[in-house]
Chains A and B, each alone.
Chain A
Amino acid sequence: MEFSANAPVLFVLAGIIIAAVLAQSVFFLVKAWRRAREIGMDMGRLKKTARTAAIFTIAPAVAIVISVMTLSKDLGVALPWLRLSVVGSLSYETVAATNAESAMGLVFGRVTALTAGQYVTIAWVMTISILVGIWLVPLISRRILNGMITLENRDRKWAETFSNALFIGMIAAFLGYVFCDVSTVFEGSAAGLIPVCVMLVSAVVMALAGLAAGKTKKRWISDYALPVSLVAGMIAAIQITAWLN
Chain B
Amino acid sequence: MKDYRGYMDSVHRSGTVWNLSVMVLMLLFPLSVGIIYGVVPDGHGLLMGLVATMPMYWAVGVIETVTYVPMLGAGGSYLSFVTGNISNLKLPCALNALEQAEVRANSEEGELVSTIAIAVSSIVTTLIIVLGVILIVPLTPILEAPVLAPAFAQLLPALFGALGVVFISKQWKIAVAPVILMLVLFIAVPALNAGTVGIMVPVSVLFTLAVSRILYKKGLLN
Least Cβ–Cβ distance between B178 and chain A, in angstroms: 4
- Chain B residues 105 to 150 lying within 8 A of chain A, measured CB to CB, are 105-109, 111-113, 115-126, 128-133, 136, 139-140, 143-144, 147-148, 150
Question: Is there an interface contact between B11 and A31, defined as CB atoms closer than 8 Å?
Answer: yes
**Does B162 contact A53, Cβ atoms closer than 8 Å?**
no
| B90 vs chain A, min Cβ distance (A) | 9
Query: CB distance A137 to B204 under 8 Å?
Result: no
Collect the chain A residues with CB atoms within 8 Å of residue B164's CB: 171, 175, 199, 203
Chain B contact residue count (CB 8 A cutoff): 161
Q: List 24 A-B contacts (CB under 8 A).
A: A3-B37, A17-B28, A35-B7, A49-B116, A52-B97, A66-B143, A72-B136, A82-B29, A84-B84, A85-B83, A103-B42, A103-B45, A103-B49, A122-B49, A124-B46, A125-B53, A136-B62, A137-B69, A152-B106, A161-B216, A173-B200, A183-B190, A229-B161, A232-B158
Residue of A nearest to B33 (CB): A120
Identity of the chain A residue whose Cβ is nearest the Cβ of B89 in the assembled complex: A60
State in angstroms the CA–CA spacing of A175 and B166 once bound together.
Answer: 13
Given contact pairs A36-B109, A172-B175, a sample of 5 additional A-B residue pairs in the complex whose CB atoms are under 8 Å apart: A17-B22, A104-B44, A124-B41, A148-B70, A230-B158
A200, CB-defined interface residue at 8 Å: yes
Q: Are A134 and B19 in contact (CB under 8 A)?
A: yes
- Does A178 lie within 8 Å of B57, measured CB to CB? no
Interchain CB contact (< 8 A) of A169 among B64, B69, B205: B205
**B82 and A56: CB pair below 8 A?**
no
CA distance A87 to B57 in the complex (A): 12
Interface string of B59-102 (1 = CB under 8 A from A): 00110111101110111011101111101110111011100110
Q: Of A122, A127, A173, A207, which contacts B182 at CB under 8 A? A: A173
Name the residue in B1, B107, B143, B178 with the highest tally of chain A Cβ atoms < 10 Å from its Cβ. Answer: B178
The answer for the CA separation of A64 and B88 in the assembled complex, in Å, is 10
B33: which of A28, A119, A225, A242 is its contact (CB, 8 Å)?
Answer: A119
B residues near A107, Cβ cutoff 8 Å: none
Residue of A32, A160, A169 touching B75 (CB-CB under 8 A) = A32
Size of A's binding interface in residues, CB under 8 A: 155
A46-91 contacts to B, CB under 8 A, are: 46, 48-50, 52-54, 56-66, 68-69, 72, 77, 81-82, 84-89, 91
- A-B pairs, top 4 by smallest CB distance, nearest first, are A233-B158, A176-B182, A132-B61, A65-B132
* A54 smallest CB distance to B (angstroms): 5
A residues less than 8 Å from B169 (CB atoms) = 207, 210
In the complex, the answer to whether B209 meets A169 with C-beta atoms within 8 Å is: yes
Query: In the complex, are the beta carbons of B112 and A169 less than 8 A apart?
Result: no
Asked if B150 contacts A241 (CB within 8 A), the reply is yes
B53 near A99 with CB under 8 A, answer yes
A196 within 8 A of B: yes
Residues of A within 8 A of B16 (CB): 138
Q: How far is the CA of A31 from the CA of B2 in the complex (A)?
A: 13
> Out of A103, A120, A163, which one reaches B34, CB within 8 Å?
A120
Q: What's the nearest-Cβ distance from chain A to residue B127, in Å?
A: 8
Query: A9 near B: Cβ within 8 Å?
Result: yes
Q: Type the 1/0 row for B178-197, where 1 means its CB is closer than 8 Å to any CB of A.
A: 11011101110010111101
Contact flags A193-216 to B (C-beta < 8 A → 1, else 0):
011101111110111001000000
A61 in contact with B82 given A20-B21, A202-B158 (CB within 8 Å)? no
Contact B181 A172 (CB under 8 A): yes
CA distance A183 to B7 in the complex (A): 50
Contacts of B64 in A (CB 8 A): 133
Q: 8 Å CB contacts to A: which residues of B6-33?
A: 7-8, 10-12, 14-16, 18-23, 25-30, 32-33
Chain A nearest CB, measured from B207 CB (Å): 7
Is B81 within 8 A of A133, CB to CB? yes
Residues of B within 8 A of A32 (CB): 75, 111-112, 115-116, 119
Which residues of A211-245 have CB atoms within 8 Å of chain B's CB atoms? 222-223, 225-226, 229-238, 240-242
